[in-house]
């Protein structure tokens, strides 16, 4: 019960304190997705979908990470209320993000609802392979038994896949702690007969990070992490690092130094318990101003950037 009260307090804080992206206008990149031309040869286009969701496109390959359009209030999460993907919201926002007619792959950093719930219905519409943890695979199969088993890969750190013309390296990751422990913990190690119907059915599984090699560029993405658990040392073009809560924020500097990126995009720092149509608001626990101050003060490598909802940016 104490846990629910804590969540309710966080919910009320989030509702009252969210500031908007126009306070950070100088860091924003991208143009409205619906106005953005398709990427040309050698270009990689990044479109932000909110939460930790991205569409990454080259001329010949399209990959989506952690799409989440069917939002739910934190109060309903705290009450573990019945919850399913929203067909109208998925249709509206996949169109607003300018999804191509075919997606080659869906990468899932972990299987909480805000990363996985919309993947099965989207896969059924846009095709493509799902790369998720074994727990995520069992959840997808239970949520959408019609998806062919071969289309859902239960991946482990160290695995490599070719998706379209992109190479995907699966890396080890950690989930941030919230109030001292991993939220909605647990692994699923065998097929489940009942579909996930409540927020807490979407157990975290094994968290993953991805290194995506696409059109000559290297993009690293995770959804957060823990201090001391760092990405491998690579010189990436773009690092998308989850900074939703304290653990991810604390290891942000070290992660940037390890990845030595040309561009760094802090991610998962919006209030994703409010509907997408209300626009981007920093969650009150995102702490972006401190993160930016540290980034600039410590002269971390690369350029710090931000993206607004449904904006597309070319990574040259
Ligand atoms: Zn999570």
Q: List per-residue pLDDT tens for the chain, 316 residues long.
A: 445 545 555 555 555 456 889 889 999 999 999 999 999 999 999 999 999 999 999 999 999 999 999 999 999 999 999 999 999 999 999 999 999 999 999 999 999 999 999 999 999 999 999 999 999 999 999 999 999 999 999 999 999 999 999 999 999 999 999 989 999 999 999 999 999 999 999 999 999 999 999 999 999 999 999 999 999 888 999 999 999 999 999 999 999 999 999 999 999 999 999 999 999 999 989 999 999 999 999 999 999 999 999 999 999 8
Q: How many Å lie between the centroid of ligand 1 and the Cα of residue 112?
A: 5
pLDDT reported for residue 11: 56
Q: Which helix (H) or strand (E) holds 63?
A: strand 62-65
Report the distance separating Cα 85 and Cα 83, nearest Å.
Answer: 7
pLDDT reported for residue 301: 96
Q: What is the DSSP letter of 309?
A: T
Q: Which helix (H) or strand (E) holds 89?
A: helix 87-96
Q: How many Å lie between the centroid of ligand 1 and the Cα of residue 121?
A: 20
Which tokens belong to 245? Answer: 């809560």
Report the distance separating Cα 243 and Cα 275, nearest Å.
Answer: 20
Report the distance separating Cα 177 and Cα 247, nearest Å.
Answer: 7
Q: How many Å lie between the centroid of ligand 1 and the Cα of residue 84?
A: 17
| Beta strand extents in 197-272 (DSSP E only) | 208-214, 217-221, 238-242, 263-267
Which tokens belong to 219? Answer: 């993009």
User: Which residues are found with C-beta within 5 Å of the ion, ligand 1?
Assistant: 112
Q: How many Å lie between the centroid of ligand 1 and the Cα of residue 119?
A: 15
Q: How many Å lie between the centroid of ligand 1 and the Cα of residue 126?
A: 24
Q: How many Å lie between the centroid of ligand 1 and the Cα of residue 204?
A: 6
Q: How many Å lie between the centroid of ligand 1 and the Cα of residue 116?
A: 10
Report the distance separating Cα 124 and Cα 144, nearest Å.
Answer: 9
Which sequence spans correspond to the domains of the chain? 2-315
pLDDT digits (tens, 9 = 90+) for 26-61: 999 999 999 999 999 999 999 999 999 999 999 999
2-315: CATH architecture: 4-Layer Sandwich (3.60)
Q: How many Å lie between the centroid of ligand 1 and the Cα of residue 182?
A: 8
């Amino acid at each position: 019960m104490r846990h629910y009260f804590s969540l309710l307090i966080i919910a009320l804080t989030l509702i009252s304190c969210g500031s908007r992206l126009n306070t950070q206008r100088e860091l924003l990149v991208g143009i409205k997705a619906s106005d953005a031309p398709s990427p040309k040869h050698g270009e990689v286009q990044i479109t932000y979908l909110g939460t930790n969701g991205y569409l990454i496109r080259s001329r010949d390959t399209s990959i989506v990470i952690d799409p989440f359009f069917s939002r739910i209030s934190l109060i309903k999460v705290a009450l573990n209320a019945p919850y399913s993907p929203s067909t109208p919201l998925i249709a509206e926002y996949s169109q607003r993000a300018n999804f191509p007619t075919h997606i080659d792959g869906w990468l899932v950093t972990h299987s909480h609802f805000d990363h996985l719930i919309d993947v099965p219905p989207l896969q059924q519409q846009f095709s493509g392979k799902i790369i998720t943890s074994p727990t995520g695979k069992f959840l997808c199969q239970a949520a959408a038994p019609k998806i062919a088993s071969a289309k859902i890969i239960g991946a482990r750190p160290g695995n490599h896949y070719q998706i379209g013309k992109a190479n995907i390296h699966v890396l080890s990751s950690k989930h941030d702690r919230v109030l001292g422990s991993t939220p909605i913990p647990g692994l699923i190690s065998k097929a489940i007969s009942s579909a996930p119907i409540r927020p807490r059915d979407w157990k975290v599984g094994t968290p993953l990070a991805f290194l995506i090699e696409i059109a000559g560029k290297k993009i690293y993405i995770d959804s957060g992490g823990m201090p001391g658990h760092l990405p491998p040392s690579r010189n990436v073009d773009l690092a998308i690092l989850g900074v939703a809560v304290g653990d991810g924020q604390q290891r942000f500097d070290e992660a940037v130094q390890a990845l030595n990126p040309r561009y760094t995009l802090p991610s998962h720092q919006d209030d994703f318990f409010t509907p997408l149509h209300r626009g981007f608001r920093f969650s009150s626990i995102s702490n972006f101003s401190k993160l930016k101050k540290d980034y600039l003060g410590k002269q971390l490598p690369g350029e710090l950037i931000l993206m607004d909802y449904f904006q597309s940016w070319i990574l040259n």
